């Protein structure tokens, strides 16, 4: 039977077989007349594809599955999955050629109600990337809507003063205090701190490392352990066989907890995320005179451009460079005065 109902759905479903190719799909309606119309259109399309060589229509869900398979090595793979789950509400029932600017506008409007423009851009950019690959690499569609992103302001950098950091550390429970202190001492990202294992540490050489597959840019990171980081690790030693940071014998899996947020409130610190600990570390490094190329290696950044945003915090080396013209220009200045 071409039209049928499943126990788990109120909608009619179609099953069509042409030249050995079978399609089984929901019609999206519980109206039998409309379902029959859907069946007839789909059957005609399949005949055109098979007999006339017309390009087969592909669904958004098919594109998502292939995208996730081909980008499984991306550092943001899990983040992409979370975005695609949200997008499924708006795109999950559509064929690729049904995704128009009106559909994109509805996504943009819906996301703006719950998130900032920068976050909305991440969802729009992911949608655009999948549609462009569907057109340019897979040749599933002939055209895609032109998806424009919002203009974003300069990247947000929020760092703590030493006094603020001290207040925060005083307010945190012991197990979280050591996690935050280690982050401030090493500049590691949250996931790299929380998932750190003893197999990645050599206490004798005071050295730790992040594997390439664990880092955001897929390059290994070498971590020389300063006194603060070393002291934290000594306090954790013996608490767990594999993982470094634990609570009541269990590995820590999240840092953005109620205790963390309450500690920020008590310390009088607002507009601060856990990732800003990394910004704080980089800021302190630059203020201490660490040059760009060293900070880049310590922080595991792929390019120096990512580090240049902290350059204004350490102007001393630029002042030294500027002073090299003193011997040349002061002569002109003296001549003018005379």
Q: What is the pLDDT of residues 132-191, one digit of tens each?
A: 999 999 888 989 999 999 886 655 568 889 999 999 999 999 889 999 999 999 999 999
Length of the chain equals: 338
pLDDT number for residue 180: 94
Q: Which residues are identified as catalytic? A: 189, 216, 275, 278, 301, 310
pLDDT number for residue 115: 87
Does 271 have pLDDT greater than 60? Answer: yes
Which is higher by pLDDT, 336 or 58? Answer: 58
| Model confidence pLDDT, tens digit, residues 47-91 | 766 666 556 788 999 999 999 988 887 777 888 999 999 999 999
Band of pLDDT at residue 319, cut at 50, 70 and 90: low
pLDDT number for residue 154: 56
Helix (H, G, I), strand (E, B) or coil at 162: helix
User: What is the Cα–Cα distance from 12 to 30, expressed in whole angstroms?
Assistant: 6
- Averaged pLDDT, 104-117: 93
User: What is the Cα–Cα distance from 197 to 246, expressed in whole angstroms?
Assistant: 11
- Averaged pLDDT, 118-124: 92
| Model confidence pLDDT, tens digit, residues 200-214 | 999 999 999 999 888
Q: Which helix (H) or strand (E) holds 82?
A: helix 77-91
Does 321 have pLDDT greater than 90? Answer: no
pLDDT number for residue 231: 93
| Model confidence pLDDT, tens digit, residues 92-110 | 999 999 999 999 999 999 9
pLDDT number for residue 326: 65
**CA neighbor of 191 nearest in space, from 250, 270, 274, 314:** 274
Q: What percent of the chain has pLDDT over 90?
A: 46
User: What is the Cα–Cα distance from 91 to 143, expressed in whole angstroms?
Assistant: 17
Contact between 270 and 297 under an 8 Å Cβ cutoff? The reply is no
User: What is the Cα–Cα distance from 310 to 295, expressed in whole angstroms?
Assistant: 10
Q: Sheet of 221-224: strands edge to edge?
A: 201-202, 207-210, 221-224
User: What is the Cα–Cα distance from 90 to 111, expressed in whole angstroms?
Assistant: 11
Q: What percent of the chain has pLDDT over 70?
A: 85
User: What is the Cα–Cα distance from 308 to 70, expressed in whole angstroms?
Assistant: 32
| Model confidence pLDDT, tens digit, residues 14-55 | 888 876 667 777 887 888 888 888 888 878 777 766 666 556
User: What is the Cα–Cα distance from 133 to 141, expressed in whole angstroms?
Assistant: 10
CATH class of the region 162-318: mainly alpha
pTM for this model (two decimals) = 0.58
User: For residue 194, what are the contacts with CB-CB under 8 A and spacing of at least 6?
Assistant: 179, 245, 251, 252, 253, 254, 255
pLDDT number for residue 153: 65
Helix (H, G, I), strand (E, B) or coil at 71: coil
Number of C-beta neighbours around residue 170 at 10 A: 11
pLDDT number for residue 314: 59
Band of pLDDT at residue 11, cut at 50, 70 and 90: confident
- Averaged pLDDT, 113-139: 92
Does 324 have pLDDT greater than 70? Answer: no
- Averaged pLDDT, 242-254: 92
User: What is the Cα–Cα distance from 126 to 111, expressed in whole angstroms?
Assistant: 13
Q: What's the chain's average pLDDT?
A: 85
**CA neighbor of 295 nearest in space, from 199, 221, 227, 240:** 221
Domain segments of the chain: what residues? 3-49, 60-136, 162-318
Does 330 have pLDDT greater than 70? Answer: no
HSE at residue 188, side-chain half, CA atoms within 13 A, is 27
Does 290 have pLDDT greater than 70? Answer: yes
User: What is the Cα–Cα distance from 88 to 68, expressed in whole angstroms?
Assistant: 14
**CA neighbor of 12 nearest in space, from 26, 23, 2, 24:** 26
């Amino acid at each position: 039977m071409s039209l049928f109902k499943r126990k788990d759905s109120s909608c009619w479903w179609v099953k069509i077989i042409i030249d050995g190719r079978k399609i089984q799909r929901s019609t999206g309606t519980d109206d039998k007349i409309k379902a029959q119309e859907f069946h007839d259109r789909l059957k005609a399309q399949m005949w055109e594809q098979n007999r006339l060589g017309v390009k087969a229509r592909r669904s958004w869900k098919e594109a998502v599955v292939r995208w996730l398979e081909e980008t499984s090595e991306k550092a943001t793979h899990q983040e992409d999955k979370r975005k695609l789950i949200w997008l499924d509400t708006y795109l999950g029932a559509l064929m690729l050629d049904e995704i128009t600017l009106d559909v994109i506008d509805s996504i943009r409007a819906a996301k703006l109600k719950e998130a900032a423009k920068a976050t909305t851009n991440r969802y729009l950019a992911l949608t655009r990337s999948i549609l462009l690959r569907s057109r340019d690499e897979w040749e599933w569609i002939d055209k895609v809507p032109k998806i424009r992103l919002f203009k974003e302001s300069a990247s947000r950098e929020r760092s703590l003063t030493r006094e603020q950091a001290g207040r925060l550390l005083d307010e945190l429970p012991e197990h979280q205090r050591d996690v935050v202190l280690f982050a401030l001492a090493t500049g590691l990202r949250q996931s790299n701190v929380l998932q750190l294992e003893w197999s990645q540490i050599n206490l004798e050489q005071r050295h730790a490392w992040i594997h390439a597959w664990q880092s955001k840019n897929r390059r290994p990171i070498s971590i020389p352990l300063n006194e603060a980081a070393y002291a934290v690790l000594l306090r954790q030693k013996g608490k767990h066989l594999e993982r470094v940071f634990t609570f009541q014998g269990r590995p820590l899996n999240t840092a953005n907890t109620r205790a963390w947020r309450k500690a920020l409130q008590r310390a009088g610190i607002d507009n601060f995320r856990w990732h800003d600990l990394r910004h704080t570390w980089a800021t302190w490094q630059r203020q201490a005179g660490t040059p760009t190329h060293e900070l880049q290696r310590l922080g595991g950044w792929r390019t120096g451009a990512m580090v240049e945003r902290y350059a204004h915090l350490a102007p001393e080396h630029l002042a030294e460079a500027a002073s090299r013209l003193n011997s040349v220009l002061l002569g002109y200045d003296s001549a003018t005065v005379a």
